[in-house]
């Protein structure tokens, strides 16, 4: 267990925190099998500390058949041997805490693997002690599934089981049966899982697919969704999942009761926090507000507004911020542009280096916490993984219109003079991109103009200006190519403007006297109450007096 900690006790540490996501299969291989592991993460934690992250979120490391690369779990309380041992995990916690980094682990409790002992018992008969632990249903009179629910991974969300002679529900792979959260014993068992890891020293959790836990007990079919209302942030356009309004297979009202139980458990421990993933294309922001409202539910949540295919315009950013302030006035957001499930935003939005910098400055100026994804700090673009090297079942299912998630999951690159980018001495589980090697950590290290240096500088700058992380905000000016807002907290006001276009822009400052604050890598001019920004530029100004420029909670 962790004994030597550089962490300062702070129950509010998560508000405004920068969280760095590690995809363990692809971070660092320490034993030469081509797959990243816990000892590899320990080896590279100084990189995370130097970046300035407050915490790491580690994607699943539990025992698993790895059909969905750890998101199909067979044992919630043990480490898969490919990643190491529980002793390795304890060492990781201790090393992270020595470096002042908190550790969140990915808790995947909406479903298990079909190889989990719970499911094996549940499917064995209709009268066993765990018979109601999963979502079972009789077929329709004609033998078809009980309703029209669809799987995100394609096809019906129901699989026929020849042992039990019923259908079971699966929102993802057929080998990932959904747990039945309407069963109190299921909730108790999962809370015991959370307690196991909290006792082990974790600082909290990232909760996978948090709004998928409960289903409609009446098994009502989802209504169709009009083409003009379809949004492709949760599933790609080639997936018919987008043709339904998902009213009954997820995002059910019973969810807040379970979240209160989880929060009460976490409150028994010191300085813990959890961030929930909300996957709902139509009501994501509203659900974020419901799940983070008050102080007895989730600490924070993220939805898919900024994980969508299209680059957020200034107008879109402003609309998201205004909507969040309306539906989640006392909630807390965690913002992200990239993660292990979507194409890297540098490629998804086709951003050059200047635009990558201004979008980072924008994200680090939003009220809320921030998730960064490994390799993002190097400016990595999506890797091109050929079909024959593809691992992701999602990509194989919808190839070639949708190539899956492997392009953002290729190994982290540490060195240029190594055929595998310093990730492994053996052939990696996914190929290392030749383009990525040229942007390796050692290439950018020590270069003050590099993307890596910019990320470090901007994170440090955010920490030096607490108003950016925790202050209130008021949107002041939005357009297709720009957004400007004011951040306020007692004694400090900051005006933030972002030019998301290539052409120059002039924006008006709020009333009062303002002085420019030099942000890393950005220069602009103030003249007669106006800020003049070149293309792809961010601008910050502090109010000279202590007068409050106003602001709305967001």
- Once rounded to an integer, what is the mean pLDDT over residues 393-400? 89
Q: Which residues contact 26 (CB under 8 A, 6 or more apart)?
A: 36, 374, 409, 410, 411, 412, 423, 428, 429, 430
- Strands in 136-137's sheet, in edge-to-edge order, are 136-137, 166-169, 158-161
Tell me if 18-111+184-378 shares its fold with 472-543.
no
Calculate the CA 16 to chain-centre distance.
15
- 432 to each of 216, 408, 419, 452, how far by Cα in Å? 43, 11, 8, 19
* Distance, CA of 183 to chain centre: 28
Per-residue confidence at 232, pLDDT binned at 50, 70, 90? confident
Q: What is the pLDDT of residue 549?
A: 40
What is the rounded average pLDDT for all residues in the chain?
A: 94
Assigned token pair, 3: 């004994």
The pLDDT of residue 324 is 87
Rounded mean pLDDT, 113-129? 98
424 vs 310: CA distance, rounded Å: 34
Among the listed residues 106, 62, 134, the one whose alpha carbon sits nearest the alpha carbon of residue 371 = 106
Instruction: Check if the beta carbon of residue 241 is closer than 8 Å to that of residue 137.
Output: no
Residue 509 tokens, joined: 């400052």
Average pLDDT, integer, range 344-369: 96
| 525 band by pLDDT with thresholds 50, 70 and 90 | confident
* Pairing between β-strand 62-63 and β-strand 75-79 as defined by DSSP bridges: antiparallel
Range list of β-strands (E), 420-491: 472-479, 482-489
In this predicted structure, the answer to whether residue 2 has a pLDDT above a threshold of 50 is no
Q: 38-51 vs 451-464: helix axis angle to the nearest 10? A: 60
The C-alpha angle with vertex 70 and arms to 205 and 151, in degrees rounded to 5, equals: 95
Contact indicator for 528, 545 with CB cutoff of 8 Å: no
Query: With bands split at pLDDT 50, 70 and 90, how would you rate the model's confidence at 210?
Result: very high
What CATH architecture applies to the domain 18-111+184-378?
Alpha-Beta Barrel (3.20)
**How confident is the model at residue 551, as a pLDDT?**
40
20: number of CA atoms within 13 Å, CB side? Answer: 27
**pLDDT cut 70: percent of the chain above it:** 97
Maximum Cα interatomic distance, the chain, rounded to a whole number of Å: 78
Contact 11, 270 (CB under 8 A): yes
Distance (Å, rounded) from C-alpha 199 to C-alpha 403? 40
CATH topology of domain 472-543: Immunoglobulin-like (2.60.40)
List the catalytic residues.
208, 268
Q: What is the mean pLDDT of residues 202-224?
A: 98
The DSSP call for residue 134 is B
pLDDT band at 74 (very low <50, low <70, confident <90, very high): very high
DSSP-derived 3-state class of residue 361: helix
Instruction: Tell me the pLDDT tens digit for each residue of 14-47.
Output: 999 999 999 999 999 999 999 999 999 999 999 9
81 pLDDT band, cuts 50/70/90, is very high
Mean pLDDT of 126-140: 98
Number of H helices, E strands in the chain: 14, 21
Q: HSE (CB half, 13 Å, CA atoms) of 31? A: 12
410 CB neighbour count, 10 Å cutoff: 25
Confidence of residue 552 (pLDDT cuts 50, 70, 90): very low
Ranges of beta strands (E only) in 459-533 are: 472-479, 482-489, 492-499, 505-508, 514-516, 525-527, 530-533
What confidence score (pLDDT) does residue 544 get?
Answer: 67
Q: How far is CA 119 from CA 106, 131, 177, 231, in A?
A: 21, 9, 8, 33
The strand pair at 530-533 and 505-508 is best described as: antiparallel
- Strand, coil or helix: 530: strand
Confidence of residue 233 (pLDDT cuts 50, 70, 90): confident
- Specify the 3-state DSSP secondary structure of 195: helix
Which whole-number Å values give the CA distances from 232 to 227, 239, 323, in the listed order?
A: 11, 9, 19
User: Pick the residue with more confidence: 400 or 195?
Assistant: 195
Span 516-528, average pLDDT: 87
The pLDDT value recorded for residue 3 is 53
Q: In what order do the strands lie in the sheet with 482-489?
A: 472-479, 482-489, 492-499, 537-543, 514-516
Strands 514-516 and 537-543: antiparallel
pLDDT tens column, 288-335: 999 999 999 999 999 888 999 999 999 999 999 888 888 888 899 999
Distance CA 366, CA 502 (A): 22
Q: What distance in Å separates the CA atoms of residue 134 and residue 289, rounded to the nearest whole number?
A: 28
Euclidean distance between CA atoms 344 and 373, whole angstroms: 9
* Residues ≥6 apart with Cβ < 8 Å to 468: 16, 364, 365, 462, 487, 494, 496
Question: How open is the CA angle 308-244-398, to the nearest 5 degrees?
Answer: 60
How far apart, in whole angstroms, are the C-alpha atoms of residue 425 and residue 411? 12
- CA-to-CA distance for 66 and 80, rounded, in angstroms? 10
How many whole angstroms separate alpha carbon 77 and alpha carbon 63? 8
252-281 tens-digit pLDDT: 999 999 999 999 999 999 999 999 999 998
Distance CA 336, CA 301 (A): 11
CA 289 to chain centre: 17
Question: So where are the chain's domains?
Answer: 18-111+184-378, 472-543
């Amino acid at each position: 267990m962790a004994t030597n900690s550089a962490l300062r006790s702070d129950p509010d540490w998560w508000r405004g925190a920068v969280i760095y996501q590690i995809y363990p299969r692809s971070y660092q291989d320490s034993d030469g099998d081509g797959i990243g592991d816990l000892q590899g993460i320990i080896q590279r934690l100084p990189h995370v500390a130097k970046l300035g992250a407050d915490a790491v979120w580690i994607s699943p490391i539990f025992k698993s058949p790895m059909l969905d690369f750890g998101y199909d779990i067979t044992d919630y309380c043990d480490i898969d041997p490919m990643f190491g041992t529980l002793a390795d995990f304890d060492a990781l916690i201790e090393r992270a805490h020595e470096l002042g980094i908190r550790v969140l682990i990915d808790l995947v409790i909406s479903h298990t693997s079909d190889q989990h002992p719970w499911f094996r018992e549940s499917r064995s008969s209709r009268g066993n002690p765990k018979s109601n632990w999963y979502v079972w249903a009789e077929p329709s009179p004609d033998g078809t599934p009980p309703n029209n629910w669809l799987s995100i991974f394609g096809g019906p969300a129901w699989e026929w089981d020849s042992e039990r002679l019923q259908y079971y529900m699966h929102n993802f792979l057929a080998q990932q049966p959904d747990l039945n959260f309407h069963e109190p014993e299921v909730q108790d068992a999962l809370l015991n899982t959370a307690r196991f890891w909290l006792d082990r020293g974790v600082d909290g959790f990232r909760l996978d697919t948090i709004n998928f836990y409960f289903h409609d007990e009446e098994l009502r079919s989802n209504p169709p969704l009009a083409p003009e209302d379809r949004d492709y942030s949760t599933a790609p356009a080639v997936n018919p999942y987008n043709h339904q309004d998902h009213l009954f297979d997820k995002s059910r009202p019973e969810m807040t009761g379970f979240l209160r139980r989880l929060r009460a458990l976490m409150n028994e421990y010191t300085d813990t926090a959890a961030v929930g993933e909300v996957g709902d294309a139509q009501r994501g922001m509203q659900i974020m507000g419901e799940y983070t409202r008050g102080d007895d539910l989730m600490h924070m949540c993220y939805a898919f507004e900024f994980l969508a295919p299209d680059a957020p315009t200034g107008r879109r950013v402003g609309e998201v911020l205004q909507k969040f302030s309306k539906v989640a006035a006392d909630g807390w957001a965690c913002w992200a542009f990239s993660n292990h499930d979507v194409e890297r935003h540098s490629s998804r939005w086709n951003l050059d280096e200047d635009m990558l910098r201004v979008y980072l400055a924008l994200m680090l100026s939003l009220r809320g916490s921030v998730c960064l994804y490994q390799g993002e700090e190097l400016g990595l673009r999506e890797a091109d993984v050929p079909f024959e090297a593809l691992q992701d079942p999602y990509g194989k299912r919808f190839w070639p219109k949708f190539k899956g998630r492997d392009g953002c999951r290729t190994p982290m690159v540490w060195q240029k003079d190594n055929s595998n980018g310093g990730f492994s001495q053996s052939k990696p589980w996914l190929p290392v991109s030749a383009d990525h090697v040229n942007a390796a950590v050692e290439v950018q290290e020590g270069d003050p103009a590099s993307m890596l240096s910019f990320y470090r500088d901007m994170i440090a700058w955010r920490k030096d200006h607490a108003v950016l992380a925790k202050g209130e905000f008021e949107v002041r000016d939005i357009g297709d190519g720009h957004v400007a807002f004011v951040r306020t907290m007692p004694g400090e006001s900051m005006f933030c403007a972002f030019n998301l276009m290539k052409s120059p822009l002039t924006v008006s400052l709020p009333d009062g006297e303002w002085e420019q604050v030099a942000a890393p890598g950005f220069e602009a001019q103030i003249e007669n109450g106006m800020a003049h920004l070149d293309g792809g530029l961010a601008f910050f100004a502090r109010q000279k007096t202590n007068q409050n420029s106003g602001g709305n909670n967001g």
